[in-house]
Structures are given as C-alpha cells and as structure tokens.
Amino acid sequence: MTLHSRSHMQSVQLALSAIMTALSVVLMLLASLLSVFTYIAPIYCGLFLLPPLLAFGKKSAFITFLATALLTLILGMDKELALFYLFFGGYPLIKPYMDRIEPRIIRLMAKAGLFIVLLALMYALLIFLLHIPVMDEFAEMGRIMTVFFFALMLICLFLYDYMIIPFILFYQKRYQKRLHRLLRIPYQMPPYLRTTSIHRKRP
C-alpha cells in the first residue's frame, strides 16, 4: 500500500468513525429528552459501531465507542442513559468472543451472567458513586415489579444480542459495498466475519 493510499484509508477511517459518533450522540441527546428511550437508544447506538467494525476492524469501532461514551458523559446527559451506553453500547465488540463458547446452553448462561454483572455494576455506580435515588424508585415500584423490570431488561439485552447478526447481514447486503465505493476503499471480507462464525451462530 502506498503512502497516499494509507493516508486516504486513515482519513476515511477517521471520517466514518466521526460520522457514527455524531449519529450516536444526536440519538442519545434526543433520548435524554424522553425517558422512555433511556434503555432503547444506547442499544441502537451500539449498532452504529458495526459500519466501522466491519470496514476497518475492532480498533476503529472501539474508538467510535469511546468517543461516543466520553461525549455522552461530557455533555451532561441523563446519567442512567450515559452509563447504560458505557456498559452495553460496546457489546457488539464483545459478542464474537461470547459466540465462541460451546455448547449453546453454556453460551446462553455466560451471556446472561455477563448482562447481570454489568447491570449490577451500573446500578452500583448510580447508587453509591453518583448518588442517584434509584433505590427509592425500586421501592415505589414494589418487589414484584422490580423483579419484572430486571427480567424485562434481560430479555431486551438478549434481543440486542440476537439482532446484531441480522443487522450485519442486512447492512452487508444493502449498504456496505455502496459505502465502500462511495468512500473509494476496497471491499473485502470484514475482519469481524473472518474471526467469527457469525453466519452460523445464534444466541
């Protein structure tokens, strides 16, 4: 690869990461105005990591994730919204490693365990570090509704895990080659797919 080509690739990589970061931050800002989207927007923002991940690999996607997380915290958005993205927005980067676990039942248990640990850490930060009155909200909800809330949260996170593969396949089929032509970069099998059995795996 020539110096000019390498410079062009780096510029395109930076531009794509910047665009995905901007889209994520805008979506998070909109979600901060409507509390109903507190747990939905970070999941959709996690999908914005996939274009740089598929085009340039994990490093580019991680930069996009880190930039989005920092801007979300710096701009003073809803703390629960920001932390939910910080803990779960980067899940598409972890999924390939989780999908290597066999057999399937162990894989499902590992994912459930990861989600539970991350939720526990997130709420611990909200309660003990940021002093957000989350426990008061749970007390008002009651024990049954609180258990139902966390069960629903786990279901949503498993749906998040499940929708990553269909989204990748849809994006590949409809948009990735067009984007590569537009950006004048060569299209090849994405690193994400070369290192995982993504076409076969399900949650």
Indicate if the pLDDT at residue 190 is higher than 90. no
pLDDT for 122 equals 95
pTM attached to this predicted model:
0.86
Cα distance between residue 128 and residue 192, in whole Å: 37
38 with 84: CB under 8 angstroms? yes
pLDDT greater than 60 at residue 195:
no
What does the pLDDT read at residue 164? 93
Q: Where are the domains positioned within the chain?
A: 3-193
Instruction: Give the model's pLDDT for residue 198.
Output: 47
What is the predicted pLDDT for the residue at 57? 87
Distance (Å, rounded) from C-alpha 112 to C-alpha 25? 28
Note the pLDDT tens digit of each residue in 126-166. 999 988 888 888 888 898 999 999 999 999 999 999 999 99
Angle (CA) 145-150-155 rounded to 5° is 120
Answer yes or no: is pLDDT of 67 > 50.
Answer: yes
